[in-house]
């Protein structure tokens, strides 16, 4: 399986830190976020290759990946203009291959079990076209809260509402089948927002897989500060 890591954002809510550091390289315990992601997906060969899109401070990202031990398994794709999650998916569908794809917003700090996620997707109910990673959030009003049926298929999204019905949230990590990419392509435009223009078409056909690992969006300074407190420091030799 191949992966698409979305790493092109400006990180405006992390300024002034992101005035000089791209969001995907923001450090946690002195280690860039991208390094956590590459180790996670390539460890145990769960993912064979990754496409990483760039835009803001792309030269910094390119130099960092070039020095990574995983560089031979990463293809960097520069977007002169941002395409949105769905647009990036469509633009890179040849490089991503003809099978299912792991798609992730790489501004989350996470330790989910990639192999278990893949296994859940392989065992998904008939007709499901996507598996969505889910996590328990301590701030449901700031997240997209999921409503599931007995088979753990998503029946509704409650996006940043005042009184959400629970705390199981969309982790912005997916395994998608080719028909999802095709649905994005059929919109016939370069910029496609996957979350608002494509995913709603598949309600009832999305399996939610809850992670037992750590997961936090570090897209603002408060969340980043909390991650530094909560997330275990890497073990060094």
Please check whether residue 2 is in contact with residue 49, taking contact to mean a CB–CB distance below 8 angstroms.
Answer: yes
The tens-digit pLDDT sequence of the chain (237 residues) is 999 999 998 888 889 888 999 999 999 999 999 999 999 999 888 899 999 999 999 999 999 999 999 999 999 999 999 999 999 999 999 999 999 999 999 889 999 999 999 999 999 999 999 999 999 988 787 788 899 999 999 999 887 777 777 889 999 999 999 999 999 999 999 999 999 999 999 999 999 999 999 999 888 898 899 989 998 877 654
What residue ranges do the domains of the chain occupy? Answer: 2-230
Distance CA 8, CA 39 (A): 19
- Per the confidence metrics, is the pTM higher than 0.85? yes
Nearest Cα neighbor of 21 from 62, 69, 67, 61 is: 61
Span 2-230: which CATH code?
Answer: 3.90.550.10
């Amino acid at each position: 399986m191949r992966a698409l890591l979305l790493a092109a954002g400006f990180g405006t809510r992390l300024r002034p830190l992101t005035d000089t550091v791209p969001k995907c390289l923001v450090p946690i315990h002195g280690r860039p976020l991208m390094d956590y992601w590459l180790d996670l997906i390539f460890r145990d060969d769960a993912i064979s290759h990754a496409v990483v899109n760039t835009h803001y401070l792309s030269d910094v990202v390119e130099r960092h990946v070039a020095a990574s031990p995983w560089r031979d398994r990463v293809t960097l794709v520069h977007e002169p203009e941002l395409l949105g999650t769905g647009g990036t998916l469509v633009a890179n569908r040849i490089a991503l291959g003809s099978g299912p794809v792991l798609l992730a917003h790489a501004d989350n700090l996470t330790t989910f079990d990639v192999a278990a996620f893949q296994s859940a997707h392989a065992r998904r109910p008939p007709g499901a076209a996507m598996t969505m990673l889910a996590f328990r959030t301590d701030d449901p009003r700031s997240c997209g809260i999921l409503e599931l049926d007995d088979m753990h298929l998503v029946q509704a999204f409650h996006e940043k509402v005042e009184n959400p019905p629970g705390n199981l949230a969309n982790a912005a990590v997916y395994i998608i089948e080719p028909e999802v990419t095709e649905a994005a392509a059929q919109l016939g435009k370069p910029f496609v927002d996957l979350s608002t223009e494509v995913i709603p078409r598949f309600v009832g056909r999305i399996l939610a897989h809850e992670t037992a690992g750590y997961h936090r969006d570090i897209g603002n300074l408060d969340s980043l500060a909390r991650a530094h407190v909560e997330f275990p420091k890497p073990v060094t030799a």
